[in-house]
Amino acid sequence: MIQENSIKLPWHYAIACKVKDYFQLTKFTLSFMVVFSSVIGYLLVPGVGFDLLKVLLLFAGGLLITGCANAINQIMERDTDALMKRTARRPLPDKRMKVEEAAVFAAILGIGGLVLLALVFNWQCAFLSLLSIVLYGFVYTPWKKWNSLAVLVGAIPGALPPLIGWVAGSGQADAGGWILFAMQFLWQFPHFWAIGWVAYDDYKRAGFKLLPSDEGKNRFTALQSVTYTIMLIPVGWLPYYFHLTGIVSAVIVMGLTLFFVFRAVQLYRFCDVPHARKLMFGSYIYLTVAQLVLLADKVKVV
């Protein structure tokens, strides 16, 4: 009877379910945020103006690359995903998709993204994109079970998108691109640790080691978050120092950074899930608003 009912499902419903599975496999919402930072990096390059077609192509290439990395991540973690409440309903652990299908899909996304970026922009940004796939999918992903240095490893591909966007626009990885890389690199530590704090029980059940302390949720972990948010203070001034953006954005970014530091300090004071969640949401606010402010205050090349 169950089989008969499954056959009678409308074809458009079956297609919608399959599309939804593919979206889950690529972690589309997360991919969208990652690619957003790549577009910001591209548009911040001196002399690069807003070309809708170029922006859309960069966005498409970025989504393909990020989707590929996330699909590889889910293929390799399908068994541990089945152990965690928030990931158990993903296509692979829920047996709605075979590993072979996911692998072919990841390969198509990755090859398509690399070819698109190489042909439309340059091979340098395509190479960095390939590097991000390898580091995220094949280094960071298995490392999470070994020790908390996985966060350091994962922060590299996580910070590459704005550098990739910069290289796509300038053709080289110069100071401007590395400044954007540094901002996103440092940002990821309190961001990841806040997530790791909130979802600590789930991660522990799967054997993931993401918090810097072996004891998990404690003041040492919170202090590390405070340290990295403070390190963002001098880095936030670099776009102004290198004449990429104006003083207005520098002041606003400073305010955002102090807000970020405050959230981390609050976690250190209280060491609880509610303040870890506030730090997590504060990290989203910091990065999104800071990047938009930098773009809005971009120094025009005369």
**Same-domain pairing of 207 and 130:** no
- Give the pLDDT confidence score for residue 148 in this predicted structure: 84
| Strand (E) or helix (H) holding 41 | helix 28-43
**Same-domain pairing of 163 and 246:** no
The rounded distance, in Å, linking the Cα atoms of 180 and 177 is 5
pLDDT in tens, 247-259: 999 999 999 999 9
**Same-domain pairing of 127 and 166:** yes
Mean pLDDT across the stretch 277-300?
Answer: 95
Q: Are 216 and 203 in contact, with CB atoms under 8 Å apart?
A: no
Tokens matching residue 46 = 């001196």
pTM: predicted TM-score of the whole model, two decimal places: 0.92
How many residues comprise the chain?
302
> Domain total for the chain?
2
Last residue of a domain, one of 173, 191, 213: 173
Task: Report residue 294's pLDDT band, with 50, 70 and 90 as the boundaries.
Answer: very high
Is residue 132 scored above 90 in pLDDT?
yes
pLDDT in tens, 84-121: 888 889 999 999 999 999 999 999 999 999 999 999 99
**Same-domain pairing of 169 and 190:** no
Query: What domain range is 270 assigned to?
Result: 174-302
Is residue 285 scored above 50 in pLDDT?
yes
**Same-domain pairing of 141 and 190:** no
Instruction: Residue 290: name the closest of 258, 264, 243 by CA.
Output: 258
- Give the pLDDT confidence score for residue 5 in this predicted structure: 45
- Give the pLDDT confidence score for residue 33 in this predicted structure: 83
**Same-domain pairing of 180 and 157:** no
pLDDT in tens, 194-225: 999 999 988 888 888 889 988 889 999 999 99
pLDDT in tens, 4-43: 444 555 767 678 888 899 989 998 888 888 899 999 999 9
**Same-domain pairing of 178 and 164:** no
- Give the pLDDT confidence score for residue 214 in this predicted structure: 80
State the DSSP code for 298. B
**Same-domain pairing of 152 and 194:** no
Mean pLDDT across the stretch 263-287?
Answer: 96
Q: Looking at residue 297, which CATH number applies to its domain? A: 1.20.120
